[in-house]
Amino acid sequence: MSKIAVIFGTRPELIKLSPVVNALRQRIGDDAISTYSTGQHRELLAQAQLCLNTPIDVNFDVMTHAQSTGDVLAKTVTLLEAEFAQKRPELVVVQGDTMTAFAGAMASFLNKIPLVHVEAGLRTLDQENPWPEEGLRQMIARVTTLHLAPTPGARANLMREGIPSEKIHVVGNPGIDTLVALRNAPKSPAKEKSSLTKGRTKLVLITMHRREAFDGGLDHFCDELQKTLRMHSNCMFIWPLHPNPAVRDVVRKHFSDDEEFPNLCLTEPFPYEEMISVLPLADLVISDSGGMQEEAPYCGVPIIVVRDITERPEIIELGLGHIAGSRALDLSEHVSGFLDTPLDPNAIDTWQKLQGQGRSSVQIAELLANLIS
């Protein structure tokens, strides 16, 4: 029987857990690890799996058309609880704040199996932002045995909630391990920035996908983006659209005329390895993504966060990002500010050190190996 069960269901979870799985296999052997996918993000997860070459031992493929979050949760907890009852792993590992992570935590708790939470302690302290993620990660913390915090700030959040210090370890961000490995891997010739900007001088990358933007926020963002496109005609804005129809329908409504905004390129989602190759070429990122808040500053690229609050306040404190709010008011001015002012290299270096500099997964594997008999 495998000693450690690793659970993921979305592309970000796989990106952050793949190097942990690899490090664990090197540390305690292939047979000691079992990987489970809920299939919460079927298409994006499949592409990332192919890129990262991470085997999936059990795929529950829970997603069906138009099912509610409650349906997903009930189905996933039921399947994982039955699996754990039969297989009895010694540890269960979940990452982040997704419905998959919460289901894995609940199934582990119901089977009285110790739970390890990777990326523990991120907090906004606002249950509505982001929703439901803030509530899910706080609830996961209540049943976690070992909290693997990415930063000292995340550790402090957990200690304020009464988590004993001996149950918390600061390990950095294993997602950065994946980014560093892909950037260092042999690959096809790198993209030229000129091929992306098409004669313009600056490149701005946009990603948007969070639920809180669906209640009118994304419409306001698109209005602000239209103004920004007109004000910054020297910039090429590339927006890989999330597969969610709730995102695509709104964006297509605002940008139905391709000729009206020649400096906006709407594309299909980039495969992860392509995103990693494009990101360092960007002069600025505009996003509501948690992962992008980590990756862009790590690559020395400033980020405008299209949310009302962030669980990664260090990037704001270091001057590597700015919170523009979910409606992105005055977006054009924020864009000008970052394009006109280079980032402080010392701030970038500090963020890279906080994120673990590509060595987090080895630390995590060592801690987990010490927990199992």
Query: Which residues, 6 or more positions from 257, have their beta carbon under 8 angstroms from its beta carbon?
Result: none
Contacts of 184 (CB under 8 A, 6+ apart): none
The label of the residue with tokens 């509505």 reads 128
Task: Tell me how many degrees the CA angle 25-26-32 measures, rounded to the nearest 5.
Answer: 30
DSSP output for 19-80:
HHHHHHHHHH-GGGEEEEE--TTHHHHHHHHHHHT---SEE-----TT--HHHHHHHHHHHH
Residue for token pair 């948007």: 208
Total Cβ atoms within 10 A of residue 365: 22
Give the residue from 294, 250, 241, 295 showing the smallest Cα distance to 270. 241
CA 161 from chain centre, in angstroms, equals: 24
Extract the runs of DSSP E, i.e. beta strands, from 187-274.
Answer: 202-207, 235-240, 264-267
Catalytic residue among 41, 117, 147, 209: 209
Rg (CA), the chain: 20
- Catalytic annotation present for 117: no
Cβ within 8 Å of residue 29, ≥6 positions away: none
As to burial, measured by CB atoms within 10 angstroms (0-12 exposed, 13-18 middle, 19+ buried), residue 198 is exposed
191 φ/ψ sector (left φ>0, alpha ψ -120 to 50, else beta): beta
What is the separation, in whole angstroms, between the first and last Cα of the chain? 13
Active site residues: 209
